[in-house]
Amino acid sequence: MATSTPNQGSCSKEVTSSRIGLPALDISAAFPQATPASIFPPSASDYYQFDDLLSPEVKALQRKVREVMEKEVAPIIAPYWEKAEFPFHVIPKLATLSVAGGTIKGYGCPGLSITGSAIATAEIARVDASCSTFILAHSSLAMLTIALCGSEAQKQKYLPSLAQLHTVACWALTEPDYGSDASSLRTMATKVAGGWIIDGQKRWIANSTFADVLVVFARNTSTNQINGFIVKKDAPGLRTTKIENKIGMRIVQNCDILFKKVFVPDEDRLPGVNSFQDTNKVLAVSRVIVAWQPIGISMGVFDMCHRYLKERKQFGVPLAAFQINQEKLVRMLGMDFLEGKGDCLSWSRITWWQWNLD
Ligand SMILES: Cc1cc2nc3c(=O)[nH]c(=O)nc-3n(C[C@H](O)[C@H](O)[C@H](O)COP(=O)(O)OP(=O)(O)OC[C@H]3O[C@@H](n4cnc5c(N)ncnc54)[C@H](O)[C@@H]3O)c2cc1C
């Protein structure tokens, strides 16, 4: 077993502390053998040409989202990831994509097909997974719940500004004790004159440090069924606390939320959420979009590895010249794209077809 004298210990301490506080090296100067991720690599992952199956409209949307993400988001996003902060100035850039509201028709929403909405999400995730979670929670969870389960007045009041990303929404289902088992949730809604009183706790809720509106699920104390509510960010009794020290999705502002006798007026109860089955109607569509997130992330990882292997030279040749590295790229294409992207494309189309039948 290696031992160290007290002297050796203090020496290594000095060396370590002398490095702390130095500014980070400019990566292109420190390691010129590879292009940094802020200059995003070209897309190289569509080996099986699944993109050829997309309609011209979806392809045009894909190009638009890819361009904005590569040019506007990739160059600035890394420091936000390091600090676990949200880049608010990116919101207007994401708004130019006109993807918030996804499949919702009318109320200023884009009325995309599920495939269109999914491809846009994948392209956002390809460059930054956190940005795709921001838009997913806002659009495919909160906005979709208002569209599917809200009253006409609620849709007119909330959706247009959410579609423009002038306001931001979050979607609060998960609780500390009920994650996968969400239908057992214990946040309570009690009927009182003119509205409802909500008491309970939520966890992991994305966007909730800054969301203007919170779509919240709670158990009706009279019927014991799940109901849905729109809660405003300044509601008395509402407290959000950011979850710190995450190792992934660091830009996503996930919170613990405490509801202490939060009053919600009758007009903000979502009339279409009368049981967990109604929540499931939203999840049936949003889970398809969620499934495209890892596809998008894998696309980005593949593109990054592909470029690095071609740029980085060892033993006098690019790493890509070695068969063991080629085999790794092939494995990524097999596991993540052949099985994943093809399945997701079929699933998106079947869900869209079923949805339009209803
Ligand atoms: C980045 C991020 C953003 C999120 N955003 C939101 C949001 O906006 N709104 C919201 O409501 N929630 C959100 N969530 C919460 C998310 O939906 C939950 O994390 C998820 O439902 C799982 O719940 P849990 O974390 O409590 O895990 P648990 O339910 O405790 O599961 C732990 C592990 O056990 C496994 N497991 C659970 N049940 C079974 C079973 N029956 N059989 C086999 N294995 C099982 C799970 O797969 C998992 O690996 C977010 C989470 C993250 C990480």
Q: Is the pLDDT of residue 6 over 80?
A: no
Specify the range with the lowest mean pLDDT, choosing from 79-83, 247-251, 331-335. Answer: 331-335
Q: What does the alpha-carbon distance between residue 171 and residue 66 come to, in Å, rounded to a whole number?
A: 26
**Ligand 1 in reach of 217 Cβ (< 6 A):** no
Specify the range with the lowest mean pLDDT, choosing from 19-33, 268-282, 320-334. Answer: 19-33
| Terminal Cα distance for the chain, rounded | 70
Q: pLDDT by residue (tens digit) across 162-210? A: 999 999 999 999 999 999 999 999 999 999 999 999 999 999 999 999 9
pLDDT at 3: 38
- Residue of minimum CA distance from atom 37 in ligand 1: 180
**Ligand 1 in reach of 120 Cβ (< 6 A):** no
Q: What is the mean pLDDT of residues 95-124?
A: 96
pLDDT at 203: 98
Each domain of the chain, given as residue ranges in start order, spans: 169-277
Q: Is the pLDDT of residue 2 over 80?
A: no
Q: What does the alpha-carbon distance between residue 336 and residue 346 come to, in Å, rounded to a whole number?
A: 15
Q: Which residues share a beta bridge with 105?
A: 110
Confidence of residue 23 (pLDDT cuts 50, 70, 90): low
Q: What is the mean pLDDT of residues 339-355?
A: 82
- Residue of minimum CA distance from atom 51 in ligand 1: 204
pLDDT at 249: 96
CA 179–ligand 1 middle distance (angstroms): 5
Q: Is the pLDDT of residue 296 over 50?
A: yes
| Beta strands 213-220 and 188-192, pairing class | parallel
Confidence of residue 10 (pLDDT cuts 50, 70, 90): very low
Segments in 69-204 forming alpha helices (H): 74-83, 91-95, 114-127, 129-135, 144-149, 152-163
Tokens coding 37? 């991720």
Q: Is the pLDDT of residue 68 over 90?
A: yes
Q: pLDDT by residue (tens digit) across 231-272? A: 999 999 999 999 999 999 999 999 999 999 999 999 999 999
**C-alpha dist (Å) from residue 166 to 23, 107, 108, 198:** 36, 14, 12, 27
Helix (H/G/I), strand (E/B), else coil: 131: helix
Report the nearest atom of ligand 1 relative to the CA of 248.
1
**Ligand 1 in reach of 245 Cβ (< 6 A):** no
Over the range 315-348, which residues count as b (16 or more CB within 10 Å of their CB) and which as e? eeeebbeeeebeeebeebbeebbeebbeebbebb
pLDDT at 11: 42
pLDDT at 358: 56
CA 175–ligand 1 middle distance (angstroms): 10
Residues 169, 138: contact at Cβ < 8 Å?
Answer: yes
Report the nearest atom of ligand 1 relative to the CA of 207.
8
Q: Is the pLDDT of residue 34 over 90?
A: no
**Ligand 1 in reach of 145 Cβ (< 6 A):** no
Tokens coding 352? 């869209």
pLDDT at 342: 82
Specify the range with the lowest mean pLDDT, choosing from 97-101, 282-286, 290-294, 334-338. Answer: 334-338
pLDDT at 97: 96
Give the residue carrying structure tokens 């099986």: 48
**Ligand 1 in reach of 243 Cβ (< 6 A):** no
Could you give the percent of the chain with pLDDT greater than 70?
91
Confidence of residue 8 (pLDDT cuts 50, 70, 90): very low
Q: What is the mean pLDDT of residues 302-330?
A: 95
- Residue of minimum CA distance from atom 47 in ligand 1: 180
Q: What is the mean pLDDT of residues 331-342?
A: 77
Mutate to test the pocket of ligand 1, among 81, 138, 174 (most ligand atoms within 8 A of CB): 174
Mutate to test the pocket of ligand 1, among 168, 180, 181 (most ligand atoms within 8 A of CB): 180
How much is the pTM?
A: 0.91
Q: pLDDT by residue (tens digit) across 210-221? A: 999 999 999 999
**Ligand 1 in reach of 173 Cβ (< 6 A):** yes
Q: What does the alpha-carbon distance between residue 174 and residue 202 come to, in Å, rounded to a whole number?
A: 6
Report the nearest atom of ligand 1 relative to the CA of 170.
8
pLDDT at 334: 85
**pLDDT mean across residues, the chain:** 91
pLDDT at 4: 40
Tokens coding 6? 């007290």
Q: Which residues share a beta bridge with 147?
A: none
Q: Which amino acid is at 329?
A: L
pLDDT at 9: 42
If one compares 319 and 338, the residue with the highest pLDDT of the two is 319
Q: What is the mean pLDDT of residues 297-308?
A: 94
Q: Which of 184, 284, 190 is nearest to 229 (CA)?
A: 190
Q: What does the alpha-carbon distance between residue 92 and residue 347 come to, in Å, rounded to a whole number?
A: 31
Q: What does the alpha-carbon distance between residue 146 and residue 109 come to, in Å, rounded to a whole number?
A: 12
Specify the range with the lowest mean pLDDT, choosing from 34-38, 69-73, 148-152. Answer: 34-38
Domain 169-277 has CATH 1.10.10.60: no
What number of CA atoms fall less than 13 Å from residue 223's CA on the CB side?
A: 12
Burial tier of 162 (Cβ tally within 10 Å: 0-12, 13-18, 19+):
buried
Q: Which residues share a beta bridge with 262?
A: 198
